[in-house]
Amino acid sequence: MKNNRWLNKTIIGIGVASLLSDWSHEMATTVLPAFLATIGGSAFALGLIEGIADGVSSFAKLFSGWYTDRLAKRKWIAIIGYFVTPVATFSFAFCTQMWHVLFVRTVAWLGRGVRTPVRKTLLAAATTPENYGKAFGLERAMDTLGAIVGPATALFIISMSNVKSVFYWSLIPGLAAMAAITFLVHEKPRENIIRTPFWQSPNLLPSNFRKFLVAVLIFGLGDFSHTLLILLAAQQLSHTHSLAQATRLAALLYIVHNVVYASSSYISGALGDRFSKRTLLAAGYFLAAAMSAVILTSPATVISVAIVFLIAGIYVGMEEALEDSFAAELLPNELHGTGFGSLAFINAIGDLVSSIVIGFLWQKVGLAAFYFPAVLAILGGTFVLRLPRRA
């Protein structure tokens, strides 16, 4: 029997682990480009490293999700993942060549990929379907808080010491995240165990969930990385401000974006429990289309750019909290791991393709490139509205 109180020790433990883990690896990510420059790395090298690491992480999520459904107890997988990532990140400090950085980043992201579906299955198992939205929304909000604190911590450490020191200090919140999973998260042995081979596991997923993955993929193919919004803001605001001022404003707006994102995650999750996750998720997708519309039609002013960042923060919070919680509703408990792994894999494909395509189109046709994500967001939202509320 699940605990009817949604905010229990397990949910708090997973939320705290997400905050601390993101704090840790965002510290390292903030200074990684500068560190690469000191050992002769280029922008292409950084892109190659991130691309390979993200690809490995994506496949790890898919495999880990399937494997965790075969186990009576799976918390140990999360513990290993939360150990591997900070230790590998700490190892950046000892890298002297590009292939060292590639290896370390790949190992770190392998650990991150392995733990993701397990974390989500543990979260779903710790509460009732009526509270999935609040539980997943809180976890996303705390993860985003770590993404705010991490870069700020890195900048403070750099002001006091050097880049390598950031990697050393990143180990502390990283291992604290592992401790939160180890000592706060409670897991009961599962009885319904799935023994299906890996290549046959997608056939077990409910048809409604597979349709949901199609909607997520449609939307995701246009849901570009919001770091591109920083570039957009710097370019737009440089028409009326100096380059230095425009850059500072862009960075400030991105911080505001992350604060709004964190707030939106929990609020939209809680609203999803009270109303309809399906409808709210579709609204989030449509809001993404509205963001692109503002980019396409508004003048290049501080106010219009700020509106873009605010809308972006709201919709991405809605998207992440509601995709996870709606997925949990559509999936039977014994397939949560396989389903969450598949969802993470589909999102990873979207992340990879969308940013590359938007970047290419932006270079070729300018801001008209944002018609592409607007159309896909509308199509994805329409597809979601055609889905049933539950399996």
Query: Which regions of the chain are under pLDDT 50?
Result: 1-3, 391
CA distance 141 to 157: 25
Rg (CA), the chain: 20
**Predicted local confidence at residue 234, as pLDDT:** 80
Which single residue is written with the structure tokens 């809680």?
Answer: 270
Which one, of 268, 16, 6, 270, lies nearest residue 119 by Cα? 16
Length of the chain: 391
**Predicted local confidence at residue 228, as pLDDT:** 77
Which single residue is written with the structure tokens 């299906």?
Answer: 196
Q: Which amino acid is at 2?
A: K
Which single residue is written with the structure tokens 């591109």?
Answer: 228
Paired tokens of 196: 């299906």
**Predicted local confidence at residue 56, as pLDDT:** 86
CB 233 within 8 A of CB 304: no
Which one, of 284, 267, 271, 58, lies nearest residue 144 by Cα? 267
Which residues, including other chains, have CB under 8 Å from residue 285's CB and lie 6 or more apart? Answer: 219, 315, 319, 377, 378, 380, 381, 384
Q: Please state, as a whole number, how many other Cβ atoms lie within 10 Å of the Cβ of residue 341.
A: 30
Task: Give the pTM.
Answer: 0.82
Count of helices and strands (H, E) across the chain: 13, 0
**Predicted local confidence at residue 1, as pLDDT:** 41
Helical packing angle, 302-330 and 336-365, nearest 10°: 150
**Predicted local confidence at residue 267, as pLDDT:** 94
**Predicted local confidence at residue 389, as pLDDT:** 58
In 3-state terms, what secondary structure has residue 103?
Answer: helix
In 3-state terms, what secondary structure has residue 5?
Answer: coil
Which single residue is written with the structure tokens 């997923």?
Answer: 205
Looking at CATH, the fold of the domain delimited by 202-385 is given as Growth Hormone; Chain: A; (1.20.1250)
Select 9-187's CATH number: 3.90.550.10, 3.40.50.10420, 3.40.640.10, 1.20.1250.20.
1.20.1250.20
**What are the residue ranges of CATH 1.20.1250.20 in the chain?**
9-187, 202-385
**Predicted local confidence at residue 3, as pLDDT:** 45
Is the C-alpha dihedral spanning 21, 27, 33, 36 positive or negative? negative
Q: Which amino acid is at 329?
A: E
CA distance 299 to 301: 6
CB 226 within 8 A of CB 316: yes
